[in-house]
Amino acid sequence: MIELRNIHKSFDGRVILDDITAEMQEGKCNLIIGASGSGKTVLTKCMVGLFQPDSGEIIFDGRSIIEMEDDERKLLRQQIGMLFQGSALFDSMTVEQNVLFPLDMFTKLTQEEKKKRANEVLEKVNLTGANKKFPAEISGGMKKRVGIARAIVLNPKYLFCDEPNSGLDPQTSLLIDRLIRDITLEYNITTIVVTHDMNSVMEIGDHIVYMHQGKKQWEGSNKEIIFSDNKLLNGFIFASEFLQDAKKMRMMQEKEANR
């Protein structure tokens, strides 16, 4: 579990995060949602240690990242997998080489052991046989899957995904969502997904934190979100036709159940 306690962060006098208290639940898909400029990315960067909060605490399984010594923080970062918005693959490396990169950097495994592990995660994301292809030779959805394979190759305890469906068509987005969910469940990873995709909210949102102008406005599950009476949250989510239909469907189901 990752606990956020009273996190404040400002840049040049402008408040970006204003007293954020929330939790990222262990072994769940935790989504941070909100409009552009709401502070989602800054909050995530604070969690992974790229930014230092001005005040507050970030607790990883009972350990404060702010109070950790450099060696402890380095070990923690090795337990964190990252899926970047643009996949961030090395264009000059093959799919296999991209996935091997963290193993080369952080392990002392033999080359045979590293290749075996790379093939295991490539199989997990349904990319068996794509080892020798270069990023320019594969689709956007395949690039995302390579990014996921690279993010989980070190068996991370925490997985951070920044807009994993950005630039993808709806069908591919659904496949990526389900892949993230399946990996979270199978490996018992604490997954944090930054997104504004409402389809992702309903598909994989075990636990959701909604942010608006640097403040946390709501926290709950995807089963609770469509019945929220938070006006800011409703204004954000019901701009999505998908969720309007979902709310109508849930209300109809409840009426039927109560007859």
Supply angle C-alpha 24, 241, 229, rounded to 5: 55
Report pLDDT digits (tens) over 115-148. Answer: 999 999 999 999 999 999 999 999 999 999 999 9
Q: Which H or E run includes 146?
A: helix 140-152
Instruction: Identify how many contiguous H helices and E strands the chain contains and give both numbers.
Output: 10, 10
Write down the CATH number for the domain with range 2-79+156-258: 3.40.50.300
- Section 93-118 average pLDDT: 94
Report pLDDT digits (tens) over 185-228. Answer: 999 999 999 998 888 888 899 999 999 999 999 999 988 988 88
State yes or no: pLDDT of 107 exceeds 60.
yes
Task: Output the pLDDT for position 188.
Answer: 94
Q: Which H or E run includes 224?
A: helix 222-225
What does the alpha-carbon distance between residue 204 and residue 39 come to, in Å, rounded to a whole number? 21
Tokens of 15: 């408040």
Q: Is 196 exposed, middle or buried (0-12, 13-18, 19+ CB in 10 A)?
A: buried
Q: What angle separates helix 111-124 from helix 140-152, to the nearest 10 degrees?
A: 130
Task: Output the pLDDT for position 4.
Answer: 97
Where residue 84 falls among pLDDT bands split at 50, 70, 90?
confident
What percentage of residues in the chain have a pLDDT greater than 70?
92
What does the alpha-carbon distance between residue 147 and residue 145 come to, in Å, rounded to a whole number? 5
Q: Residue ranges of the domains in the chain?
A: 2-79+156-258, 93-155
What's 63's DSSP letter? E
Where residue 258 falls among pLDDT bands split at 50, 70, 90?
low
Say which residue the tokens 């995709």 belong to.
Answer: 197
Range with the poorest average pLDDT among 168-172, 202-206, 253-257: 253-257
Report pLDDT digits (tens) over 19-74. Answer: 999 999 999 999 999 988 899 999 999 999 889 999 999 999 888 988 888 888 88
Q: Name, in order, each residue with C-beta under 8 angstroms of 177's C-beta and a sequence gap of 6 or more.
A: 164, 165, 199, 200, 203, 204
Output phi, psi for 226, to 5 deg. -80, -5
Task: Output the pLDDT for position 15.
Answer: 95
The 3-state DSSP class for residue 152 equals: helix
- Section 229-237 average pLDDT: 87
Where residue 182 falls among pLDDT bands split at 50, 70, 90?
very high
